[in-house]
Amino acid sequence: LEAYSQPLSLRAPASFSPSSRAFHVPRGFETNCFVPSPHKGSKVWQLSERLAGKNRDFLPQNPRFHTSSPQLEHSRNLMMADCVGTKRGPPSPSLAPQDRDPVVPGLSLSLSPQETALFELLLEVIANRGLKCVLRVAGGWVRDKIMGKEAHDIDIAIDDRMGKDFAEDLVGFMHDSGRSSEVGSVGVIKSNPEQSKHLETATVRVLGFEIDFVNLRAEEYTDSRIPVMRIGTAFEDAMRRDLTINALFYNLNLKAVEDYTGHGIADLNARVVRTPLPPLQTMIDDPLRALRAVRFATRYGFSLEESLRETLASSQVGEALSGKVSRERVLTELNAMLNGPSPTDSLSLLHSLSLLPIVFQPPVIPELPPAWPDKAIGVVRHCAGLAPSPAASLLSLP
C-alpha cells in the first residue's frame, strides 16, 4: 500500500484531498483496511470525485445511501474489493457482516413431495394467521441435503416469536381446516441453562413429520456464566451455533439456502469442521459441542480445523465438559458415535484429545491404572482389526 494511504474513518466527514487522492468516507463505510490511491475510473475514484465537489449533496440526500440500506452495503463491498484487489485475505468468521446477503447463489435443494407439502403448509399458516415471520429450516437437515444424504430431522427456526407460539398457530390452523387427524398436540421441552440447554423447543407431529420449532436466539452475558436469552436475528443465531456446517439455513419464504457465517458451504467442500466464533468461546458456551465436533468429524471423515483441535484438547474444555454437562447428554452423544459409521475413529479421536476419561469417568479404584485410556484404546483398535474374522466365523461365511 502506498505511503500516503489514509484509513477509512467511521466518524470523519466526507472529504477528499486531490493531492493524494486519499479520502475519508461517511459512516457506514467503516473497515479495518487502509485504502490506496484509487485508479482512475474505478468505483472508488468515481465516489471520490463525487465527494470532491461535483455532487457534495449526493450522500446526504440520496436515500439509496442511507447507512442501513442494502444498496449502501453493496456499494461498500464493491468499494472494498476495488480498494484492496486480491491482496486482502478472507475476513475472520467472527467479523462477518450481519447485513451481507447470505443467500448462496445457484444452490437449490431437492425436496421430496412430502417435504414440499409440509413447507407449503407452514407458509399457508403464516398467510392465514396474518403473521410476518420468516421460517427457516436450521442445521443438520440443510447440511445433509446439500451433501446428498438422507435428511429426516426438521428443525424450524422462527425470527419473531417463540417456537411454542407458532406451533400452537399451526395446530389451530389444522383444526380450523378440518385436518385434525394430520396433526398432533404441542409438546414443550423447557430450557435448562444450568445444563447448557438454552433453547425452549416445541414439538409437533404433522403430515407424518416430527417437527421441532424454536426461535432464533441471541444471548447476553451478565455477571453469571448463564446467558440471558432473547429472540435474535438469523445472523446472531448462526454465529452462536456449534459448527459452520451446522449453521446453514433453508429459508422457506425465499426457497433459498443461507450461509450467514460465510464459511458453511466452503467448509463442506473442504471437509473441515470449524466453529463460527473463536473455538474456546463456542465450546465454553456449551461444552457438549466438543463431543459434537468429534462426532461430525468422524462421521463424515472431515478434519478438525487446527485452532479447534487445540481448543478441544485444552484443560478448559475438559473441565467445562466434566462439570457443566449432564451425563445424560454426554451419553446421547457417545451413543451417536458408537452407532455411527466410524466408532473406532471416534474413540481414537477422543483419546488423542484427552477427552476419553472425561466421557467415561470410571470410578477411582486402586486396580485402575492412570494409563487406562491408552490401554483401552489399544484394546478398541485391536478388536476393530479382529472383528471381521470372528463375525465371518460365527455366521459361517466364506
Convert the pLDDT of each residue in 325-339 to its tens digit: 999 999 999 999 999
pLDDT at 192: 56
Distance CA 253, CA 278 (A): 31
Instruction: Give the percent of the chain with pLDDT over 90.
Output: 53
Q: Is the pLDDT of residue 397 over 50?
A: no
Distance CA 305, CA 88 (A): 21
Cβ neighbours of residue 370 closer than 8 Å, sequence gap 6 or more: none
Cβ(143)–Cβ(257) below 8 Å: no
Cα 226 from chain centroid?
20
Q: Which helix (H) or strand (E) holds 265?
A: helix 264-270
Distance CA 292, CA 339 (A): 14
pLDDT at 139: 85
Cβ(333)–Cβ(295) below 8 Å: yes
Instruction: Give the percent of the chain with pLDDT over 70.
Output: 67
Cβ neighbours of residue 200 closer than 8 Å, sequence gap 6 or more: 162, 163, 164, 188, 189, 190, 191, 214
Quote the cell numbers at residue 201. 423447543
Quote the cell numbers at residue 334. 457417545
Furthest C-alpha separation in the chain: 89
Average pLDDT for the chain: 76
Average pLDDT estimate for 20-40: 38
- Going from the C-alpha of 347 to that of each of 48, 82, 291, 334, 354, the distances in angstroms are 59, 49, 11, 9, 10
pLDDT at 79: 34
Cβ neighbours of residue 367 closer than 8 Å, sequence gap 6 or more: none
Average pLDDT estimate for 267-276: 97
- Which residues partner with 157 through β-bridges? 136, 214
pLDDT at 311: 97
Quote the cell numbers at residue 389. 474374522
Phi and psi at 189, nearest 5°, equal: -105, 115
Quick: pLDDT tens for 59-79. 333 333 333 334 334 333 433
Nearest-5° Cα angle at 152, 147 to 154: 100
Between 222 and 22, the more confident residue is 222
Q: Is the pLDDT of residue 384 over 90?
A: no
DSSP 191: -
Distance CA 127, CA 120 (A): 11
Concatenated DSSP letters of 346-385: HHHHHHHTT-HHHHH-----TTS-TTHHHHHHHHHHHHHH
Quote the cell numbers at residue 252. 422457506
